[in-house]
Amino acid sequence: MKFKLLAGAAFAAVVAASGASAQEAGWYGALDLGYHWPEGIEAGSSNDGPGGVPYNWDFSQSDDWAGFARLGYQLNPNWRVELEGGYRPGDIDSVRGAPGSHPGLCTPGVVRTAAAPDCGPPSGDIEAWTLMGNVIYDIAPGAALNPFVGVGVGVNHVKMDVVGQFATVGGPFTAANPAIQNLTIDDEDTALAYQVLAGLAWAATDRLDVDLTYRYLGGSDLDFASTGAASLQPGVFSGDYRDQSVTVTS
């Protein structure tokens, strides 16, 4: 987490030293920094668990900072196109089972008893890197405050790193099926992605805009392979990544 905070501070310093170059026509560049709140990845397993029921889990991720770099071209006063790279990190908050499915994951290495039944969260994080092509429409070009809307398509590369202990393990317990079993997910995948943008650009100078931008990101399913420590083997989890973010260009 310290590394992420340091990385965020370094990115902020770069943003403060740079700024977005705005022109009536031609090329411009921008660095955005802000906050994102991902939705949980609702993923289903390729293998069934005990009782012939698959693992349908919600991988919940904490809110965190987000950063974007953009290179754009102003086609005319209203229309512009951009190539955008983005980064969205976040720690794992919880992995919980959906109703009717198997319970999720607990803190690894913790022995729970009737006196101390707390499950605790698994450890790990999820990181997303996006590369998007955006088309943006400026509603009031030339005004001091210019609202804009846009859409983007591209790819989302997501890395999931999770280690947790199965919340429940059915008996009978044997050497091959111990009462305490861990699950590890250390995998990454790339999927098609889309985003919707809306914001407000303030013309700070004739050559500099300060943008406040909202993004909603979605896409197709991603696959993450898991490895169980013993008999429980959920296999590959499949689910989509969805996220909202608000950033400022300065």
pTM of the predicted model, to two decimals?
0.87
pLDDT of residue 17: 37
Question: Is pLDDT above 80 for 14?
Answer: no
Q: How far apart (Å, rounded) are the C-alpha atoms in residues 104 and 4?
A: 26
The domain locations on the chain are 2-249
The model's pLDDT over 152-192, given as tens digits with 9 standing for 90+, comes to 999 999 999 999 999 988 888 888 898 889 999 999 999 99
pLDDT of residue 172: 87
pLDDT of residue 7: 47
User: What contacts 24+ positions apart, CB below 8 Å, involve 76-79?
Assistant: 76/25, 77/24, 77/138, 77/141, 77/142, 78/137, 78/138, 78/139, 78/141, 79/135, 79/136, 79/137, 79/138
Q: Which CATH architecture has domain 2-249?
A: Beta Barrel (2.40)
Is residue 16 very low, low, confident or very high in pLDDT (cuts 50, 70, 90)? Answer: very low
pLDDT of residue 250: 61
The model's pLDDT over 196-246, given as tens digits with 9 standing for 90+, comes to 999 999 988 877 889 999 999 999 999 999 999 999 999 999 999 999 999
Structure-token pair, residue 84: 């955008």
